[in-house]
């Protein structure tokens, strides 16, 4: 019996738990696919197939109760929107990674500002069906605010004392407030996620747990904490070679799906 127990518990016979390591390229593709589902929900389903702009406040719920087909479309739109929430922690983490390893913060910020400007009309078309709509702004605007916040946090890094801690908290709070005032997409949660991933950069486990707690507002977003946890630290060949392609995918897919929604509607 002792021999049998030894053989069963022999470490060499145990099945090793698979260890997953994800590169920056894989994480970007993951985030892009999730974002595609979110835009499909908000544009093709919500604007095109359901036609939310044709209903007064409160009328859509009654219409869905009377029309089973409309209810099915609304259910699929909700499912796709939940899938889209998976992108939030991943892109927040990748923004921090980009900030930590960029050779030029100025170039990084200017690139983000340029694509924020390029993306605004496609975003408005996809989200509201209008060519210009100032009720909310695309996520690149939120990224720009978060980058400025990261720069400020880096300037206070290593400073000791309660006043410096209060300065960091105030900076994060101010950034979250500005994202809400400017109506940047996913503003509050994205700003908090970026701050958490940066402040706990050397303690990824703690950062992931806190990030999951913050992103629970988007229901499915905490599931992507597993993706962040398994980041290998390598950007990947595609992420380096086609960096600007990944940037361009955002306004391109917004424009394409916005036009599809317009045609259906």
54-88 confidence digits (pLDDT tens): 887 778 888 888 888 889 999 999 999 999 999 99
CB within 8 A of 23, min separation 6: which ones?
231, 232, 234, 235, 236, 239
Domain that includes residue 167, residue range = 21-264
pLDDT of 12: 46
Residue 169 lies in a domain: yes
DSSP state of 46: I
Confidence band of 134 (pLDDT split at 50, 70, 90): confident
230-258 confidence digits (pLDDT tens): 998 888 777 677 788 889 999 999 999 99
pLDDT of 41: 95
Q: Mean pLDDT across the chain, nearest whole number? A: 88
- Coil, strand or helix at 187: helix
pLDDT of 242: 73
Residue 53 lies in a domain: yes
pLDDT at 126 over 90: yes
Residue 151 lies in a domain: yes
What mean pLDDT is predicted for residues 259-265? 89
Residue 174 lies in a domain: yes
**What's the structural domain count of the chain?**
1
Residue 129 lies in a domain: yes
135-173 confidence digits (pLDDT tens): 899 999 999 999 999 999 998 877 777 887 888 889 999
What mean pLDDT is predicted for residues 7-32? 68
Determine the Cα–Cα distance for residues 230 and 23; give it in Å rounded to an integer. Answer: 9
pLDDT at 1 over 70: no
């Amino acid at each position: 019996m002792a021999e049998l127990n030894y053989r069963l518990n022999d470490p060499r016979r145990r099945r090793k738990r698979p260890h997953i390591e994800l590169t920056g390229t894989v994480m970007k593709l993951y985030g892009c696919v999730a974002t595609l589902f979110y835009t499909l929900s908000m544009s093709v389903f919500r604007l095109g197939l359901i036609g939310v702009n044709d209903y007064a406040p409160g009328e859509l719920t009654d219409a869905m109760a009377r029309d089973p087909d409309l209810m099915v479309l609304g259910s699929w739109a909700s499912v796709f929107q939940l899938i889209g929430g998976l992108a939030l922690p991943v892109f927040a983490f990748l923004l921090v990674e980009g900030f930590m390893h960029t050779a030029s913060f100025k170039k990084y910020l200017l690139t983000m500002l340029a694509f924020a400007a390029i993306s605004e009309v496609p975003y408005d078309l996809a989200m509201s069906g209008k060519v210009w709509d100032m009720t909310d702004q695309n996520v690149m605007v939120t990224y720009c605010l978060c980058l400025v916040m990261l720069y400020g946090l880096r300037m206070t890094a290593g400073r000791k004392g309660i006043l410096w801690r209060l300065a960091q908290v105030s900076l994060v709070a101010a950034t979250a407030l500005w994202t809400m005032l400017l109506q940047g997409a996913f503003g509050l949660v994205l700003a908090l996620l970026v701050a958490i991933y940066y402040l706990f950069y050397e303690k990824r486990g703690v950062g992931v747990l806190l990030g999951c707690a913050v992103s629970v507002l988007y229901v499915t977003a905490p599931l992507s904490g597993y993706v962040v946890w398994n980041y290998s630290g390598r950007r990947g060949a595609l992420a380096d070679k086609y960096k600007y392609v990944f940037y361009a995918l955002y306004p391109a897919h917004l424009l394409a799906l916005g036009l599809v929604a317009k045609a259906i509607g």
